[in-house]
Amino acid sequence: MKHSGGWDQDWRDLLRDGINSAEDLAARFEGIDAGEIRQVTERYPVRINGYWLSKIQEVGDAFYRQAVPDAEELRVGCGLVDPLHEDDPEDSPVPNLTHRYPDRVLLLVNYQCPIYCRFCMRKRKVGHPETFSTKYVDQGMAYIRAHPEVRDVLLSGGDPLLLSDIRIAYLLRELRTIPHVEIVRIGTKVPCALPQRITPELCAVLRKYAPVYVNTHFNHPAEVTPEAKQACEMLVDAGVPVSNQCVLLKGINDDAETIRQLMHKLLLIRVKPYYLFQGDLVKGTDHFRTPVEKGLEIISALWGHTSGMAVPHLAVDAPGGGGKIPLFPETRAGFKDGKMLLRNYEGKIYEYPDPKSEEAPLPFHV
């Protein structure tokens, strides 16, 4: 049976037909100890939808490592549960809303994703229904309405595009009744991880409440599949600009040629490379992180060797909720004693530790 957009399978079926437990994993892949992995999934849930599962060609490939739990997630390291201080009362006046920058807020509207990335910056929330409530969303909307300085709202989660069309339309309609809200952005893995969710009906909703900008999340050139191409082009054809935020992941994409291929493929499907992120210092993700020097090395290899359109901004999230800070190859001069000094949008200076450090990343102001 064909569904909206010409897809062979409905996206809801793909979610149901995937892997959602340690037992499912052990039955599917050789060498997985269900008991060991259950300890991981009790803390950090697993979800691998049927589409993503079909793309895993072998144990250890890019699709496998990003979605299959690993005992390394329980190893004690230098990460923090909430390294960006999103839940800090100073920046989070109501639950699941972060107001850090003067004119922008982050509003979490879902706790589910099409896959649960093992390197997720919100491992503390994603897949945990107790962290979410529609009343929090209502409180967030009320906060935005009461603060006229807010002109830009980023909807994230979890993944907003896993909500129903009706719920998405409701959220966008509510935001469009607030006169001072000019820009709405949606952070979503759906075009990459569950492209079947992008349907003509969803695109019509996004078009109706324009301008709506989509920031998606491709990390490896193999993810740019025919299905992903169709999803991204449907969004762009509906007048929705799509950009990509990529995370550097050790052993998956931490080399210049892989990143170059990814950026070229993204441009071919009309997705603009936006950010290349150093992995956040999140508890349970040490085995994915790369040194800051690696990101600088990759950007240096791209500059002048490919179109400027294919070169993303390299950025790091400053410890302690300092915000995103762009890095450039000349930033090497800012290294001191194995650490780097970063200046955020307010002019505050932060010390960013080498990811190999066993210290917790605590900021200081100069």
DSSP per residue, 260-323: HHHHHHHHHTT-EEEEEEPPP-BTT-GGG---HHHHHHHHHHHTTTS-GGG-PEEEEEETTTTE
Parallel, antiparallel, or unpaired for β 313-318 and 152-156? unpaired
Q: What is the pTM of this model?
A: 0.90
Tokens of 96: 């699941």
Annotated catalytic, 113? yes
Could you tell me where the DSSP H helices lie in 312-364? none
- Please give the domain boundaries of the chain with CATH numbers for all domains: 54-326 (3.20.20.70)
Catalytic pick among 65, 78, 111, 117 = 117
**pLDDT values of the chain reduced to their tens digit, one per residue, 366 residues:** 344 556 778 999 999 999 999 999 999 998 899 999 999 999 999 999 999 999 999 999 999 999 999 999 998 777 788 888 899 999 999 999 999 999 999 999 999 999 999 999 999 999 999 999 999 999 999 999 999 999 999 999 999 999 999 999 999 999 999 999 999 999 999 999 999 999 999 999 999 999 999 999 999 999 999 999 999 999 999 999 999 999 999 999 999 999 999 999 999 999 999 999 988 889 999 999 998 889 989 998 998 888 888 889 888 887 667 788 887 766 444 555 656 677 776 777 777 664 444 544 444 333
* 317 is known as an active-site residue: yes
Query: From CA 154, how far away is CA 152, in angstroms rounded?
Result: 7
Cβ atoms within 10 Å, residue 185: 20
Q: Which of 101, 136, 143, 274 does the annotation list as catalytic?
A: 101
Kindly name the residue from 203, 280, 289, 352 that is annotated as catalytic. Answer: 280
Extract the tokens encoding 273.
Answer: 């490379």
Number of residues assigned to the chain: 366
